Amino acid sequence: MQEDEFRIIAQVQKGDKEKFGILYDRYIKKIYDFVYFKTSHKETAEDLVSIIFSKALEKISTFDSKDKFSSWIYRIARNTVIDYYRTKKQDVNIEDAWDVTEDSDIEQDLDNKEKLAEVKKYLNKLKSEQRDIIIMRVWQEMSYTEIAEIVGKSEASCKMVFSRVMKELRAEIIITLIILFVLN
């Protein structure tokens, strides 16, 4: 698959911009999921994903064939989200918090939001890089090699960060359960 991507990238770099659509189709869902998890807002994620792919197309001439395209596009995504939060106002419109369509299952949506809020509570305690490593490993199902290329660390370092964070989270969850058990 990587050779196929290199061939497509070479064609795009030579001016066949329509070939970029193949890469877009291949990565849109993964990049959207990554961005959505970091923003929790459908329209914001859509806007940022649009910016990410525009940047990728604009900068495709700088793509280095020593890289994997997936690592390159995730770096763009990660940096775009960081830039978004640097420039974002802290005000949030309450109307934006509930993206419920008429045909959605409100009870299920609320349950999912509660579960997501619980996960985010733990993830918010982490440093940005730790959080990114956990998200990429658990939800994006990336290999440590891919994660290392994206965050600019060694594979061993990424494994260590993941292992330590998971150990801390498990300990915290156990303590929370013990406290809940004792209080009931």
CATH topology of domain 105-184: Arc Repressor Mutant, subunit A (1.10.10)
Segment 67-94, tens digit of pLDDT: 889 889 999 999 999 899 888 755 444 4
CATH of the domain spanning 1-90, picked from 3.40.50.300, 3.60.20.10, 1.10.1740.10, 3.30.9.10: 1.10.1740.10
105-184 shares the fold of 1-90: no
As a residue count, the chain comes to 184
Domains of the chain by residue range = 1-90, 105-184
Residue 10 tokens, joined: 């070479």
Q: At residue 132, does pLDDT exceed 90?
A: no
User: How many angstroms separate the Cα of 142 from the Cα of each of 37, 82, 139, 146?
Assistant: 15, 20, 8, 6
Confidence of residue 114 (pLDDT cuts 50, 70, 90): low
